């Protein structure tokens, strides 16, 4: 591949994001302060604490931020520049994979959309998990696709490492594994490939991920595979007060008085129990909330409770997500016939959507899915352009 394309794939999204983050000063969301405080705890040698040692969130992002803010600059700007760099590197992989999955035209369209996509640019400036998680998840699924295509040990090792790293940024990545590896096993057997090589990816994943489980066992004397926040998130989305499918305190959920004196292990178990009780006793409401969560996750513009309901934000969302949505739906259904070749695009879109239909729905939770959304939308946009406009120009490229 011509190197000029790769330079463009990095510098275009990087510079757009860099220009944006240089305009920012203060924190925007409350969750940003949580990540920043935990990073400062790690930097000061106190471990993952908020304010006490905790397992309420995966460890990799606070550790990464702790290293970043040790540099001699402004804490927030260091992290935001890191996010801009990550956005640039994701541009390279998006372009390369788009070219391999579809063609050069689709890769170029994908890169242009990705570079200027408002929501992705905006989240680059937030001290949250979205940017790093989106990057690692994309690399993981790219390596899984290469593993499936080439059946080489190196891709098994790389995919195992990247899968564990993505899960150590956001535990929702783990929801892919019960579906991804059985699907790969089926494909390997169907195509007479050696299925035993799949275990190298699973083994490496376990080796990289296991220190988190060991740390939690030594600290809390309980088996904590993900985090101690899962129960609260599940309860936030499934409780008698919830009417919208969100998880905003005071709107969709209240913190029960009886849980206030519990430690985080007890709270996690308590909230899981209360959420499951609600689901069992209110199955109809659970399904109604599930569809509301689906609508919240894939809605055209932010919900009224988000604080981003001005005409400016609505217009930006309509002109970006709204314009692409029909092309995405076209690409999604048009390429279903190629599911075996494109399964790394489909699987996160389906599994993450179902996961958030159970837990909480929010536009924020579709951020990690946008690269796959953009690739499928770009593929049908390419078909549309070839069919309706500039037929001879695009055919000659």
The CA distance from 31 to 61, in Å, is: 13
In this predicted structure, what is the pLDDT of residue 148? 97
Lowest-confidence segment of 257-266, 353-362, 381-390 by average pLDDT = 381-390
In this predicted structure, what is the pLDDT of residue 66? 92
The CA distance from 293 to 238, in Å, is: 11
In this predicted structure, what is the pLDDT of residue 30? 84
Q: Which pTM was predicted?
A: 0.95
pLDDT mean across residues, the chain: 92
Lowest-confidence segment of 99-103, 256-260, 352-356 by average pLDDT = 256-260
Q: Which of 79, 378, 59 is nearest to 227 (CA)?
A: 59
Asked if pLDDT for residue 1 goes beyond 80, the answer is no
Asked if pLDDT for residue 75 goes beyond 80, the answer is no
Asked if pLDDT for residue 310 goes beyond 80, the answer is no
In this predicted structure, what is the pLDDT of residue 28? 83
Q: How confident is the model at residue 388 (pLDDT cuts 50, 70, 90)?
A: confident
Q: How confident is the model at residue 392 (pLDDT cuts 50, 70, 90)?
A: low
What is the secondary structure of 159-198 as a DSSP string?
A: HHHHHHHHHTT-GGGGGGHHHHHHHHHHHHHHTT--GGGH
In this predicted structure, what is the pLDDT of residue 305? 64
Asked if pLDDT for residue 266 goes beyond 90, the answer is yes
Asked if pLDDT for residue 353 goes beyond 60, the answer is yes
Asked if pLDDT for residue 371 goes beyond 80, the answer is yes
Q: How confident is the model at residue 302 (pLDDT cuts 50, 70, 90)?
A: confident
Helical packing angle, 104-116 and 3-21, nearest 10°: 10
The CA distance from 288 to 354, in Å, is: 14
Q: Tell me: the pLDDT tens digits for 173-227?
A: 999 999 999 999 999 999 999 999 999 999 999 999 999 999 999 999 999 999 9
Q: How confident is the model at residue 261 (pLDDT cuts 50, 70, 90)?
A: confident
In this predicted structure, what is the pLDDT of residue 74? 57
Tell me what the mean pLDDT of segment 112-117 comes to. 98
Tell me what the mean pLDDT of segment 242-265 comes to. 88
Residue 56 · residue 232 · CB < 8 Å:
no
Domain extents in the chain: 1-127, 129-226
Tell me what the mean pLDDT of segment 57-62 comes to. 95
Is 179 or 76 the better-scoring residue by pLDDT?
A: 179
Residue 83 · residue 125 · CB < 8 Å:
yes
In this predicted structure, what is the pLDDT of residue 298? 96
Asked if pLDDT for residue 397 goes beyond 60, the answer is no
Is 354 or 304 the better-scoring residue by pLDDT?
A: 354
213 alpha carbon, distance to own chain's centre = 22
Is 376 or 395 the better-scoring residue by pLDDT?
A: 376
Asked if pLDDT for residue 70 goes beyond 80, the answer is no
Backbone dihedral region for residue 100 (phi beyond 0: left; psi -120 to 50: alpha; all else: beta): alpha
In this predicted structure, what is the pLDDT of residue 25? 85
201 CB-near residues (< 8 Å, 6+ apart): 144, 147, 156, 157, 159, 160, 163, 181
Q: Give percent of the chain with pLDDT exceeding 70.
A: 95
Q: How confident is the model at residue 395 (pLDDT cuts 50, 70, 90)?
A: low
In this predicted structure, what is the pLDDT of residue 106? 97
**Most confident segment among 48-52, 70-74, 256-260, 362-366:** 362-366
């Amino acid at each position: 591949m011509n190197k000029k394309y790769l330079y463009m794939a990095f510098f275009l999204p990087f510079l757009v994001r860099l220009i944006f983050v240089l305009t920012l000063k203060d924190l925007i969301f409350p969750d940003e302060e949580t990540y920043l405080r935990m990073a400062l705890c790690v930097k000061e040698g106190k471990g993952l604490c908020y304010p006490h040692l905790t397992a309420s969130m995966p460890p990799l992002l606070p550790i990464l931020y702790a290293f970043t803010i040790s540099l001699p600059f402004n804490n927030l700007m260091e992290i935001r520049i890191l996010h801009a760099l990550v956005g640039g590197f994701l541009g390279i992989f998006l372009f390369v994979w788009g070219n391999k999955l579809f063609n050069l035209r689709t890769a170029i369209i994908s890169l242009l959309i990705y570079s200027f996509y408002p929501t992705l640019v905006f989240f680059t400036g937030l001290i949250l998990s979205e940017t790093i998680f989106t990057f690692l998840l994309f690399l993981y699924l790219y390596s899984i696709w290469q593993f499936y295509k080439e059946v080489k040990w190196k891709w098994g090792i790389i995919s195992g490492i990247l899968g564990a790293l993505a899960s150590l940024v956001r535990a929702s990545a783990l929801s892919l594994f019960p579906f991804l590896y059985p699907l790969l096993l089926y494909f390997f057997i169907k195509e007479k490939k050696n299925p035993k090589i799949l275990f190298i990816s699973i083994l490496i994943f376990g080796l990289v991920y296991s220190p988190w489980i060991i740390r939690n066992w030594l600290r809390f004397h309980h088996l904590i595979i993900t985090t101690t926040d899962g129960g609260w998130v599940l309860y936030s989305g499934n409780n008698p007060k919830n009417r919208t499918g969100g998880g905003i305190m005071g709107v969709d959920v209240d913190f029960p008085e009886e849980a206030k004196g519990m430690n985080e292990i007890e709270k996690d178990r308590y909230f899981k129990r209360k959420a499951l009780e609600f689901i069992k006793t209110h199955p109809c409401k659970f399904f109604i909330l599930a569809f509301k969560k689906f609508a919240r996750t894939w809605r055209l513009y932010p919900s009224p409770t988000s604080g981003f309901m001005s005409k400016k934000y609505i217009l930006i969302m309509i002109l970006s997500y709204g314009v692409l949505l029909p092309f995405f739906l076209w690409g999604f259904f048009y390429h279903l016939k190629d599911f075996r070749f494109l399964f790394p695009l489909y699987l996160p879109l389906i599994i993450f959507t179902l996961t958030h239909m159970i837990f909480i729905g929010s536009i924020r939770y579709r951020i990690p899915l946008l690269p796959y959304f953009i690739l499928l939308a770009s593929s049908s946009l390419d078909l549309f352009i070839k069919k309706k406009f500039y037929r001879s120009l695009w055919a000659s490229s």
